Amino acid sequence: MIGAGHAGLAASHFLGERSLDHVVLERGEPANSWRHERWDSLRLLTPNWQSRLPAGVGYEGDDPDGYMSAGDVVELIERFASSTGAPVRTQCNVTSVRHVDDGYRVRTSQGEVRARAVVIASGACNRPAVAGFADAIPESVRQLTPFEYRNPDQLPDGGVLVVGASATGVQLAAELQRSGRSVTLSVGEHVRLPRTYRGRDVMWWMDASGIWDQRHDEVEDLARARRLPSPQLVGSAERATLDLNVLAARGVELVGRWGSVRDGQALFSGGLRNVFALADLKLTRLLDSFDEWARAAGLDPELDPPERFAPTEAPRSPRWRIDLRSGEIRTVVWATGFRPDYRWLDVPVLDAKGHLRHDGGVVERPGLYALGLPVLRRRKSTFIYGIEDDAREVTDELGEYLAGRRPAQGKRPASANGSGPSKDPRPHLEPFVQVRALDDRVTP
Amino acid sequence: MPTAVDNGVNVQALLDARDALAGAPEAAQFSWRATSKWQNGVHSTTTIQNFFGLGEEQSHKTETVFDADHPAVFAAEDNGITPIEYLLVGLSSCLIGGVASVAQNRGIQLRSVEATVEGSHDIRGILGDTDVRNGYNDITVNFKIDADASDREIEALVAQSQKRSAVFDALTNPTEVTVNVG
C-alpha cells in the first residue's frame, strides 16, 4: 500500500481480514495531508454521520450533522489505524515503483521493498494546479496555493484575487472577505449546491437517493464524472449555503474565468453569464430529480416543501481586465483544483493527460491497483465513507490475483465510455450525470 | 424519441471523431486560413478555401470570397459589411450550429432557430480616442427557438452551445495574435 490515508488503511484492513501479508508505506505519518496540507478553518463537506470507515470506526461525537475539522479527520484516521493494527511504515517516502518479473520493486527513503502487488493510495490531490501563465504575474503580487494558505493573517494587506469557484475557492473568498480584504473571485464552470434542501443536508440527498452509490460502469460519461470539481459547499455550524449570490451580497466581486496575463493585466473571460446559467440549470435539474425521488419514495410528508433558489445574479458589467501592477491586487490565491502526483511511478500506466489508466481501481498491469480516486468505483469514491465498498472490492480482486485466480487484469475490457445508459431502477439520476465537463482549469 | 429526431446533424460522426482524436491529439490540430487583398479605399476581398486538419491539407468544395468595406456614413463605398460585423456572423452562426448539434445529441427536434446579434461599439476608439476601446463594448445574442422541448431544455441547449462554441470562446477570451510583415 502506498499511502496511509483513509484509502490505504482501508485496503490494509481488508487485506488483514484475508491474512494477506502487507505493509503500508507512508511518506510522513498517517493522514499526512490532513496534518500538513489543509488550511486552518477547513471542514469536511460531508456531515459527521457520513464520516465512517470500515470496521465500525466512525464519528463518535454528539453532533452528527456537524462537519469535521482537519484535526478531527486526523484523529479519526489514527483511531482507524490503531483499531485495525495496520502495519504502517512511517517517514517512508516512496521514490520509485518499477514492474519486475515477479511483481514490483519499490524504492523508498528507507530502502527497497519487493511486492507481488501494489495498491496506489497516495491520493488525488497531491499538487495544487496553477495556471500556466502564473509566471507572467508581476512579482509584486504574492501567489499562494491552498497547500500554503493557512489563514488570512498570512496575507499582506490589500486586495486578493481568488482563482476558482469550487469548494476551496468559495470558502477562501468568504474567509478573506471576512478578514476585511477586498476580494475578487474568478469564476469558471462550477457546481452550485445548497447546503441544505427541504430541511436535509444536500449530502443526505446525494446519499439517500442513490447518486453517491452510482457505480463507475453505470455513469454515462465517466471521464467527465471524474473531472467534476468539488461543489460550492462549506461545512459550518449554521449549515449555511455558500454560493455566488451569497458571496456577491457580502461584497465579493465576481469576474470571469482567468484567461491570461498580458502586459501585467489579468484578462478574464467575458462568458461569466453562461457559467452562471449552466450551474443554475444543473442545480434545478438536480433538485427536480430529488423531488421526484422523494415523491416516489413516499418521503414528502417528513420533508419541508420543495423550494427553488434565485438564479445566480450576474454583475451588471463584470470586469474583464485588472491591472496587476496597480497595487489593487496584492495576493493571488489559486483554488484551481489539485492533481495527483505520480512522478515516482515508473510503470507506463498514465494517459496523455497524466491520469492513471484504471478500470475500477484495477490498473492495466497485473498486481497494480488504485484506491481513493474520483469515481473510482462509485460517485462517493473520494469521500471518507466512500472508501469501504471500493477497498473491499479492490482488495477482493487483489486477493484473487495473488491466489492465481485472476491472472490478467490488464486484459480486462475497459468499461469506461460508451457502455450505454444504465438500466438502473433507482431514481432518475440524469441531472447529476449531466453536470458535464466541469473541470475548473484556468488555462484553455 | 432520439431515433425520430433529425436536425440534419450527424452527431454520431462527431462522437466517433471525439473518441478517435482522444487517442491521436496531433490529428486534432487544425489551421484555418484566409487570404485578404486590398482593393481600394477600405474595401478588401478575403478568399477562403484551404485549411489543414487530420494531419493533412484539406479543402472546402468551393472557394468563398468575402467583401469587406464600410458603409456610406464612414465615407466609404459599402462594397461589403464591415470587418467587425463579420465577428457577429461568426458568433451567431457558431452558436446556431451548436444549438443544432446539442439538440440532435439530446434528442430534441428543432423547428426553427433564429438568433439576432447586436454588438455595441463606441467608434471614438477607432477614431483615436485612447480612453475608448476599439472593439465592442458588449455583445448581446437573442435566440428564438421553436422545438419539441420545454423552455428549460431550450435554455440548456443555448447554454451548452456557448460552452462548446469556438467563436464564443475566441470573443470572450484573449487570444495571442502575431502579425508579421514580409
Alpha-carbon distance of A7 to A371, in angstroms, equals 6
Chain A residues with CB-CB distance to B under 8 A?
189, 256-257, 259-260, 262, 267, 269-271, 274, 277-278, 281, 284-285, 317, 352, 417-418, 436-437, 444
Which pLDDT tens digit goes with each residue over A14-58? 999 999 999 999 999 999 999 999 999 999 999 999 999 999 999
Pick from A122, A54, A117: nearest CA to A92: A122
Nearest neighbour of A281 by CB, restricted to B159, B168, B171: B159
Average pLDDT of chain B, as a whole number: 94
Which pLDDT tens digit goes with each residue over B161-172? 999 999 999 999
Does the structure show a pLDDT above 90 at A223? no
Band (pLDDT 50/70/90 cuts) for residue A126 is very high
Nearest neighbour of A281 by CB, restricted to B156, B169, B176: B156
Which residue type occupies A189?
E
pTM: 0.89
CATH architecture of A6-126+340-411: 3-Layer(bba) Sandwich (3.50)
Q: Is A213:A379 a contact under the CB 8 Å cutoff?
A: yes
Alpha-carbon distance of A433 to A379, in angstroms, equals 10
Query: Residue with C-alpha cell 458588449?
Result: B138
Average pLDDT of chain A, as a whole number: 90
DSSP string for residues in B95-135: HHHHHHHHHHHTT--EEEEEEEEEEE--TTTTTT-TTS-SS
Q: Is A130:A336 a contact under the CB 8 Å cutoff?
A: yes
Contact A278 B169 (CB under 8 A): no
The DSSP element (H or E) to which A144 belongs, if any, is strand A142-144
Contact B174 A418 (CB under 8 A): no
Give the distance from residue B159's alpha carbon to the nearest chain A alpha carbon, in angstroms.
6
- pLDDT value of position B154: 97
- pLDDT value of position A407: 52
Q: Higher confidence at residue A382 or residue A421?
A: A382
Contact A284 B152 (CB under 8 A): yes
Lowest mean pLDDT among A345-349, A402-406, A423-427, B73-77: A423-427
Pick from B62, B58, B69, B26: nearest CA to B47: B62
User: What are the φ and ψ backbone dihedral angles of A120, each rounded to 5 degrees?
Assistant: -85, 110
Estimate the share of chain A in helix, then strand, then coil, as percent rounded to the nearest 5.
30, 20, 50
Does the structure show a pLDDT above 50 at A426? no
Instruction: Give the rounded percent of residues in chain B with a pLDDT score beyond 90.
Output: 86
Residue-range domain boundaries for chain B: 30-70, 82-174
Contact A444 B173 (CB under 8 A): yes
Give the distance from residue B157's alpha carbon to the nearest chain A alpha carbon, in angstroms.
10
Q: Which residues pair with A108 in a beta bridge?
A: A94, A111
Does the structure show a pLDDT above 90 at A432? no
Strand order through the sheet with A265-268: A258-262, A265-268, A321-323
- Taking residue A418's Cβ as centre, other Cβ atoms within 10 Å add up to 11
Alpha-carbon distance of A95 to A112, in angstroms, equals 10
Alpha-carbon distance of A341 to A338, in angstroms, equals 10
Pick from A280, A273, A278: nearest CA to A310: A280
User: Chain B residues with CB inside 8 Å of A260's CB?
Assistant: 173-174, 176
Alpha-carbon distance of A120 to A7, in angstroms, equals 9
Q: In chain A, which residues fall in CATH 3.50.50.60?
A: 6-126+340-411, 129-336+428-433
User: Chain A residues with CB inside 8 Å of B174's CB?
Assistant: 259-260, 262, 267
CATH of domain B82-174: 3.30.300.20
> What Cα–Cα distance (Å) separates residue A57 from each residue in A54, A76, B133?
6, 8, 62
Nearest neighbour of B174 by CB, restricted to A189, A262, A277: A262
Does the structure show a pLDDT above 80 at A440? no
49-88 in B: which are within 8 Å (CB) of A?
none
ipTM confidence score: 0.85
Does the structure show a pLDDT above 70 at A428? no
Pick from B115, B84, B95: nearest CA to B160: B95
20-39 in B: which are within 8 Å (CB) of A?
25
- pLDDT value of position A406: 62
Pick from B118, B102, B100, B119: nearest CA to B110: B100
CATH of domain A129-336+428-433: 3.50.50.60
